[in-house]
Amino acid sequence: MKPKSLNHPHADPFQHFMDVLRSPDLPESSISFLQSCGRPLHLARGEAAELREQEQRTAIFVSEGAAKLVGHVGADREQIVAFCFEGELLILSVTSHTPYTLQALTECRLLAFPAGDLITKVTEATSSAIVERTFLALDQARDASVLLGRKTAQEKLASFLVSMVDRIGVVGPKIIALDLPMSRREIGDCLGLTIETVSRQLTALRNHGIIKTYGRSKITILDMARLSERAVQASCTT
């Protein structure tokens, strides 16, 4: 678990990307190439990223802000597949049977690369940071499948909160603070729960002294150990 203690704005998304890449072996020619093909995207809250149709796969680096990945099933049905935060990398494919869009939850600064070019250049220097982020995205996708398929409502919500602690938690002396950029309805959509169920499960965790809630988006984790226990109960009982 590596929750953040502070968020800093990044004036240059490409430099932020290179800082995350942390590959001293990457040649200058590859750096120049990536800088030339990296396309900055600045999204207002609620705006969807415009991807180039000729690129079968697009790698998107989140330099600032938070976004949601939405899968579209038919004209009027959609499913939130994942949430994406600062410093994370995801790959979108236009070859998938399900069309996806990336929509900003907050104001966002992104970098979009042709995925093939990015992978080719970073593997020239065996960039472990990019590979690690790719594996992390796969792990999160598998975790999401388990969440939807096998866990109870409380286990789903506890698992979601544990994941948010890992990704955007702010650590204090005795507590961990979360300022969630998504609504309870969006949390429910991602977890396969109704907004009423999300609210009930938050109330249950609060009544057990595991969390405190402030308004609609701020949550304080009071007992991380008990929250983690709630999150893994499904895997222990199936």
Q: Provide the residue-wise pLDDT of the chain in tens; the chain has 238 residues.
A: 444 433 455 678 999 998 887 677 778 888 898 899 999 999 999 999 987 766 678 889 999 999 998 887 766 778 888 899 999 888 887 666 677 889 999 999 999 998 888 877 776 655 555 655 665 665 555 555 544 556 789 999 999 999 999 999 999 988 999 999 999 999 999 898 999 999 999 999 999 999 999 988 999 999 999 999 998 754 433 3
The residue type found at 134 is T
Helices (runs of H) and strands (runs of E) counted in the chain? 8, 11
Q: Does 169 share its domain with 79?
A: no
Q: What integer pLDDT is reported at residue 236 of this predicted model?
A: 39
Q: Tell whether 133 and 155 lie within a shared domain.
A: no
pLDDT of residue 115: 84
Contact present, 14 and 38 (Cβ < 8 Å): yes
Residue with tokens 């809250």, as numbered in its chain? 45
Are 23 and 122 contacting, i.e. CB atoms less than 8 angstroms apart? Answer: yes
Q: So what's the pLDDT on residue 237?
A: 36
pLDDT reported for residue 81: 85
Output the pLDDT for position 4: 47
- 133 and 173: one domain? no
Domain-ending residue, one of 71, 105, 137 = 137
Candidates 56, 119, 59, 109; CA nearest to 89 is 59
Q: Confirm whether 144 is domain-assigned.
A: no
Asked if 30 and 104 sit in the same domain, the reply is yes
Enumerate residues 6+ apart whose C-beta is below 8 A from 20. Answer: 61, 87, 129, 133
The verdict on residue 145 lying in a domain is: no
Could you give the CA distance from residue 176 to residue 224 in angstroms, rounded to a whole number?
Answer: 8
Q: Which residues contact 144 (CB under 8 A, 6 or more apart)?
A: 81, 82, 190
The per-residue pLDDT for 21 is: 73
Residues 71 and 102 in one domain: yes
Instruction: Record the tokens describing residue 111, joined without a space.
Output: 């970098």
The total of structural domains in the chain comes to 2
Q: Domain ends where: 92, 112, 137? A: 137
Q: Which domain holds residue 104?
A: 13-137
pTM of the model: 0.80
pLDDT at 137: 60
143 is a domain residue: no
DSSP state of 47: P
List the CATH number of the domain containing 60.
2.60.120.10
DSSP state of 48: B
CATH code of 214's domain: 1.10.10.10
Picking from 79, 107, 137, the residue at the C-terminal end of a domain is 137
Q: Which residue, among 217, 224, 230, has the nearest Cα to 176 in the 3D structure?
A: 224
Predicted local distance difference test score (pLDDT) of residue 238? 33
